[in-house]
Structures are given as structure tokens and as C-alpha cells.
Amino acid sequence: SAGAMAAVPDVEIDPEGNFKYLLVRLQRPGGAEQRHIVRGTKAAEFHNHIFEKLNPEMEKLGYECTCLGGGKIDHNSKDKKIRVFGLSTGYGKADHSVTVEILKKVYTDYEITWSNDKK
């Protein structure tokens, strides 16, 4: 149901710091309905750690996850700034412009920027 998909948060990222993130597409198997979510945490040493945690959670809800790439997020909650940059060695670079649009839905009063810089 659309309700279940809507119940999955658009964004789950750490409240502060510099960490890896993934852009992930959720889709019902065989269904047209899909959406993109952003997940990032300092707890993940590698990008695949994020996916390995997320994928089983989403499968339980009946979604297929496709990783669309990754990068890094620098989250400065004090200054209300988020910077999206870098890439994932394993998954490639996410479309950071898409990530920024998703972040803006949640962090409405933030300045959110992206670049292809590595650092």
C-alpha cells in the first residue's frame, strides 16, 4: 500500500558530522510505484554497511532496494548547513542533486549544497 511506503522516512542521517551516505530507490516488485530515500551514518565504515542494514528492513516491508550510488554528507546542525559530496567506491557516485532535493524536504530551513569534490 502507498501508506506503507509513505511510512518509510525520506531521510535518516546522523544529526551531526561527516559520514558516508547512500541514495536508494525503493520499489514494489513488479510495481510502478517507487521513491528515493537517503541514508547516512558515521556508524558505517563502508557504504555497503548502510545497504546491508537497510535492505533486510525494506524487504520485510515488501520493497526491492536499488542502490543508486553514494557519497558523503557533512552535517553542521549548529549552522544549519549540509554539504553533499564525494562518491562510493563500491556503488559509484549518487546524483547529489537528487539527494539535495530529498534532504530539502526534511531540512527545510537549512542551506544545502552539493559538489563533485572528493573532500
Please, are residues 111 and 81 in contact by the beta-carbon 8 Å criterion? yes
Average pLDDT of the chain to the nearest whole number: 94
Q: Where are the domains of the chain?
A: 11-115
Check whether 20 is labelled as a binding-site residue. Answer: yes
Asked if pLDDT for residue 106 goes beyond 80, the answer is: yes
Predicted confidence band at 30 (pLDDT cuts at 50, 70, 90)? confident
Please name the residue that has the C-alpha cell 551516505: 21
- Which pLDDT value is given to residue 70? 98
Angle at 115 between CA 46 and CA 86, to 5 degrees: 15
The reply to whether 49 belongs to the active site is no
- Which pLDDT value is given to residue 1? 52
Predicted confidence band at 2 (pLDDT cuts at 50, 70, 90)? low
Instruction: Considering the domain delimited by 11-115, tell me its CATH architecture.
Output: 3-Layer(bba) Sandwich (3.50)
Give me the amino acid identity at 58.
Answer: M
d(CA 7, CA 85): 28
- Which pLDDT value is given to residue 42? 98
Pick the catalytic residue from 47, 49, 75, 96: 47
Rounded to two decimals, the pTM is 0.94
Asked if pLDDT for residue 3 goes beyond 70, the answer is: no
- Which pLDDT value is given to residue 71? 98
- For 37-66, write each residue's pLDDT tens digit: 999 999 999 999 999 999 999 999 999 999
Cell reading at 116: 563533485
